[in-house]
Chain A
Amino acid sequence: MNTKKFGKFAMVGVLALSLVTTTTNAIAADSNATINIGSLYEPQNLDNTGGGGQGVTEALNGNVYEGLFKLTDSGKVENLLATAYKISSDGLTYTFTLRSNVRFHSGKTLTSADVKYSIGKVTAANSQSARKSSFKVVKSVATPNDKSVVITLSSRSISFVYNLSYIWIVNEDAKDISASEDGTGPYTLGTWKRGSTLSLNRFDGYWGSAAKNKQVVFRYFTDATALNNALLTRAVDVITSEQSPDALAQFKSSAFKITNGASTTKLLLVFNDRVAPFKKPLVRKAITSAIDNKKLLQSIWGEYGTLTGSMVPPTDPWYENLTKVNPYNPTLAKKQLAQAGYPKGFTFRLDTPNYDPHPAAATFIKSELAKVGITVNINIITADQWYNNVYKKLDYAATLQEHVNDRDVVWYGNPNFYWGYNNPRVISLINAAEQAKSATAQTQLLKRANRIIVADAASDWIYLYPQIVVASSTLSGYPINGLNSQFFAYNITKG
Chain B
Amino acid sequence: MLKYLIRRLTFLFFSIFLASVSLFVLLRLLPGDPANALLSVGATPEQIAAAQHKVGSDLPLLQQFLKWIVQLFSLRFGNSLISGVAVAPEIASRMSITVPLTMTAFLLALIVAVPLGFVAAYRARTWYGSALNAISQLGIAIPVFWVGVLLILTFSLRLMVLPAGGFPSDGWADTAGALKSLLLPVLTIAIVMSASLTRYIRSATLDVLGSDYIRTSRALGSSYVEAMWRHGVRNAAVPVVSILGIELATTFIGAVVVESVFALPGLGSLLVRAISQRDYPVIQGVLFVSTMAVLIIGFCVDLIQRWMDPRLNKSLTATRG
Whether A and B touch directly in their complex, counting CB atoms under 8 A apart, is answered as yes
Query: Footprint of B on A, CB under 8 Å?
Result: 44-45, 50-51, 53-54, 125-128, 130, 132-133, 176, 178-179, 191, 193-197, 199, 217, 219-223, 225-227, 229-230, 232-233, 235, 382-385, 387-388, 391-392, 401, 403-405, 408, 411
Point out the residues of chain B lying under 8 angstroms from A232, CB to CB: 156-157, 164
B149 to chain A, nearest CB (A): 8
**Is A194 touching B166 in the complex (CB atoms < 8 A)?**
no
**Is A127 touching B47 in the complex (CB atoms < 8 A)?**
yes
Q: Mark B32-44, 1 if CB is under 8 A from A, else 0.
A: 1100111111111
CA distance A155 to B93 in the complex (A): 51
**Is B276 touching A383 in the complex (CB atoms < 8 A)?**
yes
Q: Mark B252-287, 1 if CB is under 8 A from A, else 0.
A: 000000001111111001100100111000000000
B56 to chain A, nearest CB (A): 13
**Is B169 touching A233 in the complex (CB atoms < 8 A)?**
no
**Is B47 touching A226 in the complex (CB atoms < 8 A)?**
no
Point out the residues of chain B lying under 8 angstroms from A221, CB to CB: 165-166, 263
CA distance A51 to B167 in the complex (A): 26
CA distance A219 to B265 in the complex (A): 11
**Is B164 touching A230 in the complex (CB atoms < 8 A)?**
yes
Q: Mark B143-164, 1 if CB is under 8 A from A, else 0.
A: 0000001001000110010011
Known A-B contacts A385-B32, A388-B32; A194 and B85 likewise in contact (beta carbons under 8 Å): yes
Point out the residues of chain A lying under 8 angstroms from B265, CB to CB: 193-196
Point out the residues of chain B lying under 8 angstroms from A384, CB to CB: 32-33, 36-37, 276-278
CA distance A382 to B31 in the complex (A): 11
B315 to chain A, nearest CB (A): 46
Point out the residues of chain B lying under 8 angstroms from A132, CB to CB: 44, 47
Point out the residues of chain A lying under 8 angstroms from B51, CB to CB: 51, 128
Point out the residues of chain A lying under 8 angstroms from B40, CB to CB: 51, 53-54, 128, 130
Point out the residues of chain B lying under 8 angstroms from A44, CB to CB: 37-38, 82-83, 277
Interface residues in B, total, Cβ within 8 A: 51
A153 to chain B, nearest CB (A): 19
**Is B152 touching A229 in the complex (CB atoms < 8 A)?**
yes
**Does B231 sit within 8 A of A, measured CB to CB?**
no
**Does B48 sit within 8 A of A, measured CB to CB?**
yes
Point out the residues of chain B lying under 8 angstroms from A392, CB to CB: 48
Sorted nearest first, the 6 A-B pairs with minimum C-beta distance are A51-B38, A195-B265, A229-B164, A387-B36, A178-B84, A196-B265
Tally A-B pairs: CB < 8 A: 152
CA distance A384 to B36 in the complex (A): 6
**Is B41 touching A382 in the complex (CB atoms < 8 A)?**
no
**Does B171 sit within 8 A of A, measured CB to CB?**
yes
CA distance A435 to B23 in the complex (A): 53
**Does B94 sit within 8 A of A, measured CB to CB?**
yes
**Does B50 sit within 8 A of A, measured CB to CB?**
yes
**Is A233 touching B47 in the complex (CB atoms < 8 A)?**
no
**Is B166 touching A235 in the complex (CB atoms < 8 A)?**
yes
**Does B247 sit within 8 A of A, measured CB to CB?**
no
**Does B54 sit within 8 A of A, measured CB to CB?**
yes
Known A-B contacts A44-B38, A385-B31; A179 and B166 likewise in contact (beta carbons under 8 Å): no
CA distance A222 to B265 in the complex (A): 10
Which of A125, A195, A217, A226 is packed against the most chain B CB atoms within 10 Å? A195
CA distance A174 to B156 in the complex (A): 44
**Is B164 touching A235 in the complex (CB atoms < 8 A)?**
yes
A97 to chain B, nearest CB (A): 31
**Does B302 sit within 8 A of A, measured CB to CB?**
no
Interface residues of B in 4-35 (CB under 8 A from A): 31-33
Known A-B contacts A45-B82, A195-B269, A232-B157; A223 and B36 likewise in contact (beta carbons under 8 Å): no
The 8 Å CB contact of A222, one of B44, B260, B277, is B260
Point out the residues of chain A lying under 8 angstroms from B32, CB to CB: 384-385, 388
**Is A191 touching B169 in the complex (CB atoms < 8 A)?**
yes
A55 to chain B, nearest CB (A): 11
CA distance A230 to B261 in the complex (A): 12
The chain B residue sitting closest to A34, CB to CB, is B169
**Is A179 touching B263 in the complex (CB atoms < 8 A)?**
no
**Is B164 touching A51 in the complex (CB atoms < 8 A)?**
no
Point out the residues of chain A lying under 8 angstroms from B39, CB to CB: 51, 128, 387, 391
A398 to chain B, nearest CB (A): 16
**Is A194 touching B43 in the complex (CB atoms < 8 A)?**
no
Known A-B contacts A217-B169, A230-B164, A235-B163; A45 and B84 likewise in contact (beta carbons under 8 Å): yes
Point out the residues of chain A lying under 8 angstroms from B269, CB to CB: 195, 222
Q: List 16 A-B contacts (CB under 8 A).
A: A51-B82, A54-B40, A128-B38, A178-B85, A191-B169, A193-B93, A195-B94, A197-B169, A222-B273, A226-B260, A226-B262, A230-B166, A233-B157, A235-B166, A384-B36, A403-B41
Point out the residues of chain B lying under 8 angstroms from A401, CB to CB: 41
**Is A408 touching B167 in the complex (CB atoms < 8 A)?**
no
**Is B156 touching A128 in the complex (CB atoms < 8 A)?**
no
